[in-house]
Chains A and B, each alone.
Chain A
Amino acid sequence: MNALLPLIEVKNLKVTFHGRTGPVLAVDDLSFQVSPGETLAIVGESGCGKSATAMSLLRLIQPPIGRSEGGSILFGGKDLLQLEYEEMRAVRGREIAMIFQEPMSSLNPVLTIGRQLTETVRVHADASQETSRLRAIELLHLVGLPDPESQLRKYPYELSGGMRQRVMIAMALINKPSLLIADEPTTALDVTIQAQVLDLLSKLQEETGTSILLITHDLGVVAEIAKRVIVMYAGRKVEEATTIELFDNPQHPYTRGLMAAGPRLGSAMADVKKARLREISGTVPIMNGELVGCPFAERCENVLDQCRLAFPQDTQVTETHCVACFNPNGAT
């Protein structure tokens, strides 16, 4: 994979939420690592545990809502799950930063952009008012906001969605974090604005060398900027590969289903009535801990008897490609 040591290594992570009718398993036995400077995407549909994974890296899932029940998250020689509260605070924003889907709800509506940016600078570095203001201007310039000085005086509602997301990215980059977690960063944006923001993220990565953990439901966004991908389904990692391998040679029936289900741009032929899309029948199971076996079994075309008895181990396809499936090729 990479001769360098991983920047962050997640081992056997398990996250549960406390539901009204008992614990709900959001992430189950998840292991992966992110190398320095790489972009890893976690892709999956609603409820697959991708956001829960992202949030538990920053220990944002706390009782009574839920907790990380086991495993470890090794980052810079420390296990983040074992850190004291104050130690964890020092990691957040400084070494690992995060941007969210809806920048309007992540920004404070009653403070100006300038106030929020300079405050963040001053919390992390003992800077004067003037130096932190200059740093804020520099950052807004970096993320491509026109006329940064006048933007500082604006309130979040005065900015458009794309501009707000740029402000969030600027704020996340203040301390030059080594890992940036982007949770559906472009989902709320229009396609032309999405193209701007994805372009910005790849440029910033080239300039700053930060690693990006991208959480998304959109395989198109993965194809745009990720080097490697993890596909999650119902809390489990079902496939991991380089982006090229995953698109060239998807192994898991769920990954194949996802790729076939999306309408393909440019498939319209003149005067030909369109074919039906390939759907994945059924819905995602409820993960209350009663399910044994592969969670995709009920919707899977290649299902075997053993799929309902145990979750399959990872099988290596190539050195950089592994899949958790008993029957990827559809033998009966």
Chain B
Amino acid sequence: MMDGSDSMLLEVNDLQMHYPVRSRSWFAKPDYVRAVDGVSFSIAKGETLGLIGESGCGKSSVGRSLLRLITPTAGKVRLEDVNILDLSKREMRDRRREMQIIFQDPFSSLDPRLTAEQIVSEPLVNFKVAKGRELSRRIEELFDQVGLQKQHLKRFPHEFSGGQRQRLGIARAMALNPRFVVCDEAVSALDVSVQAQIINLLMDLQEQLGLSYLFISHDLAVVEHISDRVAVMYLGKIVEIADCHSILQNPQHPYTQALVSAVPRRHPSQKKEKIILKGDLPSATNPPKGCRFHTRCPMAMERCSTVEPIIKRFSDDHAVACHLID
């Protein structure tokens, strides 16, 4: 989709993640949940790519396979010139210094028996980056960067509020100076006033450290605010990818159009035509033939139920997988 110029940090090619599910009989062919089924995109240095979609569309599986927290079934993930899926476990461990993740619920992703200081120092100690006085200096620096105070050092995760816990999770992710960070619904569990604090923090850190983000979220307004480009996923596939402005002002795929129209209005007197989709997300074990969206698509044609659309360039930085575009 994008040309592989030097500024690209991460390139994902035809990524697939199929989870086996128990089949009905020993002799039956095993079934797979095709959570990610051929996803390609790239992220430039210092860029944020938003990845949006509803529950079960595979967006978290994408994030996790990029870091090899789960092993993808097929595909390529190139960080600069290295395909990280070819690396041995030990080599991968080293690479993780450059790739980090921030999770949705900071309470279940922080060890409840470690103090804040221990949580943030763990990666630094593991990779032998710092010790002794140097270690405490670095931790204080990180705390300062994410807006935590010195008096928080000795506290346990349960003594923090949700927003502070997320700051702690961010400090841990930033400890090793990563170049690429996956934010998996990083602000979804937070109240709106605190959410604004964390979004601002993530954007400030990006500017200071030149980070690239994959920002996974179901909230279109948040994704729009933080991202340069946005990819929309439906049932394991990217259906549309474009710069932020085009996705919102000029969405081409009927699913993107429905998603944009479904966001509640900002003012009660604002007129908003809603595209109300019928039904629910089909099962990813047995996705619909042809275009996966055709069962709910208000504009489905006969061809949609038989031929799967391939993703095509619509304009400069805008690609869509839909037969209507031809």
User: Measuring CB to CB, which residues of chain A are less than 8 angstroms from any residue of chain B?
Assistant: 45-46, 146, 160-163, 190-196, 198-199, 217-224, 226, 243-244, 247-248, 257-258, 261-270, 274, 276-281, 283
Contact = CB atoms under 8 A, between A and B. Distances in A.
A195 B225 contact: no
A162 B209 CA distance: 41
B193 A257 contact: yes
Contacts of B260: 265
A270 B265 contact: no
Contact of A266 (B200, B218, B248, B279): B248
Contact of B249 (A262, A266, A279): A266
B192 A247 contact: no
Given A268-B248, A274-B226, 8 more contacts: A190-B54, A223-B265, A223-B268, A263-B221, A266-B249, A267-B225, A268-B225, A280-B197
Contacts of A46: 162, 191
A191 B263 contact: yes
B263 A199 contact: no
A272 to B, nearest CB: 9
B281 interface: yes
Given A196-B276, A223-B270, A264-B266, A277 B191 contact: no
B200 A277 contact: yes
A212 to B, nearest CB: 15
Contacts, number: 131
A266 B223 CA distance: 11
Nearest to B197: A279
Contacts of A266: 224, 248-249
Given A191-B263, A223-B266, A280 B196 contact: yes
Contact of B222 (A45, A257, A263): A263
B199 interface: yes
Interface residues of B, number: 47
A276 B280 CA distance: 36
Contacts of A277: 196, 199-200, 225
Nearest to A48: B191
Contacts of A274: 203, 225-226
B222 A160 contact: no
A46 B194 CA distance: 11
Contacts of B162: 46
A120 B325 CA distance: 50
A274 B223 CA distance: 12
B274 A162 contact: no
B151 interface: no
A146 B226 CA distance: 39
Contact of B264 (A163, A220, A247, A279): A220
A162 B54 CA distance: 12
A193 B55 CA distance: 11
A195 B5 CA distance: 41
A162 B221 contact: no
A281 B265 contact: no
B197 A281 contact: yes
B315 interface: no
B221 to A, nearest CB: 4
A199 B274 contact: yes
A190 B260 CA distance: 12
19 contacts: A191-B54, A194-B264, A195-B261, A218-B264, A220-B265, A244-B268, A247-B267, A248-B267, A265-B221, A265-B260, A265-B263, A265-B266, A266-B224, A269-B245, A270-B243, A274-B203, A276-B203, A280-B196, A281-B197
Contacts of A220: 263-266
A265 B50 CA distance: 14
A281 B226 CA distance: 20
Tell which of B164, B222, B268 has the most Cβ of chain A within 10 Å. Answer: B268
Interface string B193-223: 1111101100100000000000000101110
A190 B262 CA distance: 10
A165 to B, nearest CB: 12
Contacts of B196: 261-263, 277-280
Nearest to B198: A279
| Nearest 4 pairs of A and B residues by beta carbon | A220-B264, A263-B225, A190-B54, A280-B193
A217 B277 CA distance: 24
B269 interface: yes
Nearest to A194: B262
A279 B218 contact: no
Contacts of A45: 191-193
A243 B264 CA distance: 14
Contact of B244 (A221, A222, A262, A268): A268
Nearest to B226: A274
Given A160-B280, A220-B263, A268-B244, A191 B221 contact: no
